[in-house]
Chain A
Amino acid sequence: DVKVTQSSRYLVKRTGEKVFLECVQDMDHENMFWYRQDPGLGLRLIYFSYDVKMKEKGDIPEGYSVSREKKERFSLILESASTNQTSMYLCASSSTQGFGNTIYFGEGSWLTVV
């Protein structure tokens, strides 16, 4: 069974703090993703990585950066947290083999910025 693990389920941070969200997958997947989930807006892609040290901006990259130093780990960084970044953050991974592959999600990280 594919496992995508997000290290922090619930975080409360102050405005201006630097925030790290960590994600690890155990299926040797090439692709990893960070999505943001908001009511009425669905899932929006923040960043996508298709290989180690490779990254690509998604639909809403502003205020975020990512790091992928190892294949199994993909980190999302909020350089200076703001209240409008309060949200549920979902990490996911998928294989590049084949077409339209299943994306496997983590349980999510609830971030509240106060």
Chain B
Amino acid sequence: AQRVTQPEKLLSVFKGAPVELKCNYSYSGSPELFWYVQYSRQRLQLLLRHISRESIKGFTADLNKGETSFHLKKPFAQEEDSAMYYCALPLQGAQKLVFGQGTRLTINP
């Protein structure tokens, strides 16, 4: 079955420290993966997508097919990065997304 696993429900790091939010997937074929973010009192929104290979707000994510992972990384965390992060995988001809359980990231001052 196609699924996404985020093993950490909570992650807390200090400002300026590196951040890595883990995402593992189960998928046959070449997946297109996404990271979505929900800041406090804001709607869930796209942060970045694998196919774009871009850095958004200092975050990057690399697809590792060998480890079936798509971890989200940022070298120096900022307080405004505190949010809920979801990894997501498209299904059914890419018209639906299946989401992981989410990781709540807290950046301590």
Interface residues of A (CB under 8 A from B): 4, 31, 33, 35, 40-45, 48, 50, 58, 90, 92, 94, 96, 99-108
Contact = CB atoms under 8 A, between A and B. Distances in A.
**SS class, residues of chain A in contact with chain B:** strand
A48 B96 contact: yes
Query: 8 nearest interchain CB pairs?
Result: A100-B32, A42-B101, A43-B99, A105-B44, A100-B94, A100-B90, A42-B102, A99-B94
A35 B36 CA distance: 14
Contacts of B44: 43, 90, 92, 105
Contacts of B6: 42
Interface of B: 6, 9, 32, 34, 43-46, 49, 51, 86, 90, 94-102
Given A90-B44, A100-B90, A105-B43, A40 B101 contact: yes
